[in-house]
Amino acid sequence: MDLNIGDFIISKYSTTPSLILDKTHNNYFVALTEYNGDYKYIKKSESKHVILDPSEQLSILANYGNWFYNIHKTIYQEIIINNLIQINFPQ
């Protein structure tokens, strides 16, 4: 399965799901909670897609460093908007 930027994966490299920031043919470039949101390449074969609700996604991003928002504000804002939609239009 080929995932997209903004999806979350689980892997042996983190105790929490990791946010995909970029991808190559064989790897995902992800932000890791253990590194305050800093990055690591993880082989696609060593990862598994995980589906989180928007509040779980925002909770993970809140554990990243203050610098993360300024660099990745588009992804961060999309998750915030998804949270607002979920609050106002619950399924």
Residue 38 domain flag: yes
Of 23, 27, 87, 29, the residue nearest 53 (C-alpha): 87
* pLDDT at res. 2: 83
Q: How confident is the model at residue 86 (pLDDT cuts 50, 70, 90)?
A: confident
Residue 2 domain flag: no
Distance of CA 58 to the CA centre of its chain: 9
Residue 3 domain flag: no
Number of domains in the chain: 1
Residue 56: domain span: 8-88
The residue type at 69: Y
Residue 1 domain flag: no
Q: What is the DSSP letter of 45?
A: G
Q: How confident is the model at residue 58 (pLDDT cuts 50, 70, 90)?
A: very high
List, in sequence order, the alpha helices (H) in the chain: 54-62, 67-71, 73-88
Q: What is the DSSP letter of 47?
A: E
